[in-house]
Amino acid sequence: MVKNCSSLSKLKILPVILQALILSIVFTGCANVAPWERGNLAQPQMELEPYPLQSEIQSHNYSSREAAPSHKSTSGGGGCGCY
């Protein structure tokens, strides 16, 4: 009786490939930041929304002009419907 060696080797290598894939995903987000570089990363321009007050005012103005619900509630907005 002859066993199929190719199917056995595929079953043995699958967990190794899966572990390597998981480790590569986990370790891609790791980075060492030097103390002198932390000042650059802490600047307001590096945030996802660098000017939150300005963005809030713009979204409020847009939602009040449009006759659509605002971004914070399901109630309808007022206004003429023009922008």
Confidence category of residue 83, pLDDT binned at 50, 70, 90: very low
Confidence category of residue 3, pLDDT binned at 50, 70, 90: low
> What pLDDT, on a 0 to 100 scale, did the predictor assign at position 6?
60
pTM beyond 0.75: no
> What pLDDT, on a 0 to 100 scale, did the predictor assign at position 5?
56
**11 is written with which tokens?**
């079953």
